[in-house]
A and B are shown apart, each in its own frame.
Chain A
Amino acid sequence: QKEVEQDPGPLSVPEGAIVSLNCTYSNSAFQYFMWYRQYSRKGPELLMYTYSSGNKEDGRFTAQVDKSSKYISLFIRDSQPSDSATYLCALSPGGTSYGKLTFGQGTILTVHP
Protein backbone atom coordinates (compact mmCIF):
# COMPACT_ATOMS: atom_id res chain seq x y z
CA GLN A 1 0.00 0.00 0.00
CA LYS A 2 1.35 3.42 -0.94
CA GLU A 3 1.75 5.91 1.86
CA VAL A 4 -0.29 8.47 -0.07
CA GLU A 5 -3.03 7.59 -2.54
CA GLN A 6 -4.38 10.07 -5.05
CA ASP A 7 -6.72 9.41 -7.93
CA PRO A 8 -4.70 10.27 -11.04
CA GLY A 9 -7.80 11.13 -13.05
CA PRO A 10 -7.75 12.58 -15.61
CA LEU A 11 -10.50 14.93 -14.57
CA SER A 12 -12.26 17.11 -17.15
CA VAL A 13 -14.75 19.79 -16.11
CA PRO A 14 -16.45 22.77 -17.74
CA GLU A 15 -15.42 26.30 -16.85
CA GLY A 16 -17.11 27.50 -13.68
CA ALA A 17 -17.46 24.04 -12.15
CA ILE A 18 -16.45 23.16 -8.61
CA VAL A 19 -13.54 20.73 -8.58
CA SER A 20 -12.84 18.30 -5.77
CA LEU A 21 -9.43 16.66 -5.45
CA ASN A 22 -8.62 14.13 -2.77
CA CYS A 23 -5.83 12.18 -1.14
CA THR A 24 -5.79 9.51 1.52
CA TYR A 25 -2.81 8.54 3.58
CA SER A 26 -1.88 5.74 5.93
CA ASN A 27 0.93 7.15 8.08
CA SER A 28 -0.23 8.97 11.20
CA ALA A 29 3.17 10.66 11.41
CA PHE A 30 2.17 13.10 8.67
CA GLN A 31 1.37 16.42 10.30
CA TYR A 32 1.68 18.95 7.49
CA PHE A 33 -0.43 18.88 4.37
CA MET A 34 0.17 20.75 1.16
CA TRP A 35 -1.30 21.06 -2.28
CA TYR A 36 0.89 21.87 -5.24
CA ARG A 37 0.02 22.74 -8.80
CA GLN A 38 2.35 21.62 -11.56
CA TYR A 39 2.16 22.74 -15.14
CA SER A 40 3.67 20.56 -17.81
CA ARG A 41 7.49 20.44 -17.66
CA LYS A 42 7.61 22.86 -14.72
CA GLY A 43 8.37 22.55 -11.04
CA PRO A 44 5.50 22.35 -8.50
CA GLU A 45 4.02 25.55 -7.17
CA LEU A 46 2.60 25.70 -3.64
CA LEU A 47 -1.13 26.42 -3.51
CA MET A 48 -2.22 25.63 0.01
CA TYR A 49 -0.61 24.59 3.27
CA THR A 50 -2.32 23.30 6.41
CA TYR A 51 -1.22 21.61 9.59
CA SER A 52 -4.44 20.94 11.44
CA SER A 53 -7.78 19.34 10.80
CA GLY A 54 -10.41 21.65 9.39
CA ASN A 55 -10.77 23.99 6.46
CA LYS A 56 -8.50 26.68 5.10
CA GLU A 57 -9.64 29.04 2.40
CA ASP A 58 -7.61 31.16 -0.01
CA GLY A 59 -9.55 32.82 -2.78
CA ARG A 60 -11.12 30.15 -4.96
CA PHE A 61 -9.23 27.38 -3.20
CA THR A 62 -10.25 25.55 -0.02
CA ALA A 63 -8.12 22.89 1.62
CA GLN A 64 -9.72 20.44 3.98
CA VAL A 65 -7.97 18.05 6.35
CA ASP A 66 -9.53 15.24 8.37
CA LYS A 67 -6.77 13.64 10.39
CA SER A 68 -9.09 11.11 12.01
CA SER A 69 -9.95 9.71 8.59
CA LYS A 70 -6.52 10.41 7.10
CA TYR A 71 -8.18 12.25 4.26
CA ILE A 72 -7.36 15.58 2.65
CA SER A 73 -9.15 17.52 -0.05
CA LEU A 74 -8.71 20.53 -2.25
CA PHE A 75 -11.73 22.33 -3.65
CA ILE A 76 -11.53 24.78 -6.53
CA ARG A 77 -14.52 27.06 -7.03
CA ASP A 78 -15.40 28.76 -10.29
CA SER A 79 -12.74 26.78 -12.11
CA GLN A 80 -10.96 28.49 -15.00
CA PRO A 81 -9.13 27.10 -18.04
CA SER A 82 -5.93 28.44 -16.48
CA ASP A 83 -6.48 25.98 -13.62
CA SER A 84 -5.72 23.14 -16.04
CA ALA A 85 -2.67 21.43 -14.56
CA THR A 86 -1.62 18.49 -12.45
CA TYR A 87 -2.47 18.84 -8.77
CA LEU A 88 -0.30 17.07 -6.24
CA CYS A 89 -0.94 16.54 -2.58
CA ALA A 90 2.20 16.46 -0.45
CA LEU A 91 2.57 15.42 3.16
CA SER A 92 5.31 15.95 5.68
CA PRO A 93 5.99 14.53 9.14
CA GLY A 94 7.36 17.86 10.29
CA GLY A 95 10.18 18.39 12.73
CA THR A 96 13.63 17.71 11.36
CA SER A 97 12.04 15.81 8.49
CA TYR A 98 9.75 18.70 7.57
CA GLY A 99 11.19 19.16 4.13
CA LYS A 100 10.97 15.50 3.15
CA LEU A 101 7.70 15.54 1.28
CA THR A 102 5.78 12.46 0.25
CA PHE A 103 3.71 13.21 -2.81
CA GLY A 104 0.54 11.71 -4.14
CA GLN A 105 0.49 10.52 -7.73
CA GLY A 106 -1.09 13.75 -8.94
CA THR A 107 -4.46 14.42 -10.54
CA ILE A 108 -4.52 15.78 -14.09
CA LEU A 109 -7.21 18.46 -14.35
CA THR A 110 -8.54 19.99 -17.54
CA VAL A 111 -11.00 22.87 -17.41
CA HIS A 112 -12.55 23.45 -20.79
CA PRO A 113 -14.20 26.72 -21.84
Chain B
Amino acid sequence: GAVVSQHPSWVICKSGTSVKIECRSLDFQATTMFWYRQFPKQSLMLMATSNEGSKATYEQGVEKDKFLINHASLTLSTLTVTSAHPEDSSFYICSAPRASGVNDEQFFGPGTRLTVL
Protein backbone atom coordinates (compact mmCIF):
# COMPACT_ATOMS: atom_id res chain seq x y z
CA GLY B 1 0.00 0.00 0.00
CA ALA B 2 0.89 3.65 -0.27
CA VAL B 3 3.21 4.99 2.38
CA VAL B 4 3.76 8.48 3.64
CA SER B 5 6.79 9.09 5.80
CA GLN B 6 7.73 11.92 8.12
CA HIS B 7 11.06 12.98 9.48
CA PRO B 8 11.95 13.41 12.22
CA SER B 9 9.57 11.31 14.28
CA TRP B 10 10.25 13.43 17.31
CA VAL B 11 12.22 16.57 18.05
CA ILE B 12 13.03 18.62 21.09
CA CYS B 13 14.18 22.17 20.62
CA LYS B 14 14.80 25.34 22.59
CA SER B 15 12.36 28.21 22.52
CA GLY B 16 13.12 30.63 19.71
CA THR B 17 14.66 28.11 17.33
CA SER B 18 13.18 26.87 14.07
CA VAL B 19 12.31 23.28 13.31
CA LYS B 20 11.79 21.68 9.89
CA ILE B 21 9.55 18.64 9.42
CA GLU B 22 9.57 16.66 6.19
CA CYS B 23 6.67 14.75 4.67
CA ARG B 24 7.32 12.36 1.80
CA SER B 25 5.06 10.22 -0.32
CA LEU B 26 7.16 7.13 -0.95
CA ASP B 27 5.46 5.35 -3.84
CA PHE B 28 3.17 7.91 -5.43
CA GLN B 29 3.23 11.53 -6.45
CA ALA B 30 1.22 14.07 -4.52
CA THR B 31 0.59 17.52 -5.91
CA THR B 32 -1.28 18.30 -2.73
CA MET B 33 -0.45 17.43 0.84
CA PHE B 34 -2.09 18.46 4.07
CA TRP B 35 -0.65 19.39 7.43
CA TYR B 36 -2.55 18.71 10.65
CA ARG B 37 -1.81 19.43 14.29
CA GLN B 38 -3.00 17.31 17.17
CA PHE B 39 -2.80 18.35 20.81
CA PRO B 40 -2.89 15.67 23.53
CA LYS B 41 -6.26 13.94 23.76
CA GLN B 42 -7.65 16.16 21.04
CA SER B 43 -8.49 15.56 17.43
CA LEU B 44 -6.57 16.51 14.33
CA MET B 45 -6.96 20.08 13.18
CA LEU B 46 -6.14 21.01 9.61
CA MET B 47 -3.49 23.70 9.48
CA ALA B 48 -2.79 24.16 5.79
CA THR B 49 -2.88 22.71 2.32
CA SER B 50 0.50 22.33 0.65
CA ASN B 51 0.45 22.77 -3.13
CA GLU B 52 3.33 21.67 -5.34
CA GLY B 53 4.75 24.62 -7.23
CA SER B 54 2.57 27.24 -5.58
CA LYS B 55 1.87 28.85 -2.24
CA ALA B 56 0.28 26.94 0.55
CA THR B 57 -3.22 27.84 1.69
CA TYR B 58 -3.72 28.22 5.41
CA GLU B 59 -6.77 27.61 7.55
CA GLN B 60 -8.23 30.46 9.52
CA GLY B 61 -6.23 31.27 12.60
CA VAL B 62 -3.00 29.62 11.42
CA GLU B 63 -0.09 32.06 11.10
CA LYS B 64 1.51 31.58 7.71
CA ASP B 65 4.67 33.41 8.74
CA LYS B 66 5.12 31.09 11.68
CA PHE B 67 4.37 27.82 9.89
CA LEU B 68 6.25 27.96 6.61
CA ILE B 69 5.30 25.34 4.07
CA ASN B 70 7.30 24.45 0.99
CA HIS B 71 6.17 21.82 -1.52
CA ALA B 72 9.35 21.56 -3.55
CA SER B 73 8.62 18.38 -5.46
CA LEU B 74 5.81 15.94 -6.18
CA THR B 75 6.89 13.74 -3.28
CA LEU B 76 8.09 16.20 -0.65
CA SER B 77 6.47 18.87 1.50
CA THR B 78 8.17 20.56 4.43
CA LEU B 79 6.73 22.40 7.39
CA THR B 80 9.03 24.79 9.24
CA VAL B 81 7.96 26.02 12.64
CA THR B 82 9.78 29.33 13.00
CA SER B 83 10.75 30.82 16.34
CA ALA B 84 9.10 27.95 18.14
CA HIS B 85 7.57 28.49 21.58
CA PRO B 86 6.30 26.00 24.16
CA GLU B 87 2.72 26.47 22.98
CA ASP B 88 3.79 25.09 19.58
CA SER B 89 4.53 21.75 21.21
CA SER B 90 2.22 19.30 19.51
CA PHE B 91 1.95 16.27 17.25
CA TYR B 92 2.24 17.32 13.60
CA ILE B 93 0.85 14.94 10.99
CA CYS B 94 0.85 15.22 7.23
CA SER B 95 -1.36 13.46 4.74
CA ALA B 96 -1.30 12.96 1.01
CA PRO B 97 -4.11 11.84 -1.28
CA ARG B 98 -3.45 9.20 -3.89
CA ALA B 99 -5.83 9.26 -6.82
CA SER B 100 -7.18 5.78 -7.45
CA GLY B 101 -9.68 6.54 -10.19
CA VAL B 102 -12.58 5.91 -7.82
CA ASN B 103 -11.70 8.11 -4.90
CA ASP B 104 -8.66 9.72 -3.46
CA GLU B 105 -7.60 7.83 -0.40
CA GLN B 106 -5.80 9.95 2.16
CA PHE B 107 -2.65 8.40 3.53
CA PHE B 108 -1.32 9.82 6.76
CA GLY B 109 2.25 9.97 7.90
CA PRO B 110 3.29 8.58 11.29
CA GLY B 111 3.49 12.06 12.79
CA THR B 112 6.22 14.21 14.31
CA ARG B 113 6.14 15.01 17.99
CA LEU B 114 7.55 18.47 18.66
CA THR B 115 8.49 19.53 22.16
CA VAL B 116 9.65 23.11 22.66
CA LEU B 117 11.44 23.78 25.91
Contacts and interface: CB of A to CB of B under 8 A. Distances in A.
Contact of A105 (B6, B32, B34, B43): B43
A6 B104 CA distance: 24
A98 B97 contact: yes
A102 B46 contact: yes
A41 B34 contact: no
B21 interface: no
Contact of B46 (A34, A101, A106): A101
Interface residues of B, number: 25
Interface in A26-66: 32, 34, 36, 41-46, 49, 51
B60 interface: no
Interface of B: 4, 6, 32, 34, 41-46, 49, 91, 93, 95, 97, 103-111, 113
14 contacts: A8-B41, A41-B91, A42-B111, A43-B6, A43-B108, A51-B103, A88-B43, A88-B44, A99-B32, A99-B34, A99-B97, A100-B34, A101-B34, A106-B42
Interface of A: 6, 8, 32, 34, 36, 41-46, 49, 51, 88, 98-106
